[in-house]
Amino acid sequence: MLKPIPIHILLIIAIALLDLLLMVQPVQASRVVKFYDGDNMTVIQGGIKTKVSLACI
């Protein structure tokens, strides 16, 4: 007869799976669009627009 799996083993497996899911980025998050217009750089990532002055870099 099969023995039940101990709860600490189940917790370790659940934490490992959660960690694996958090490490893998969604495809949408990896898409970044950059625009350069001389003095500024505009970055659009995940629908959020950010303007960065090249003088700050």
pTM: predicted TM-score of the whole model, two decimal places: 0.41
Domain locations in the chain as residue ranges: 7-56
DSSP assignment of 1-57: -PPPPPHHHHHHHHHHHHHHHHHSPPTGGG-EEEEE-SSEEEEEETTEEEEEEGGG-
State pLDDT tens for residues 10-44.
Answer: 999 999 999 888 777 665 555 777 878 777 888 87
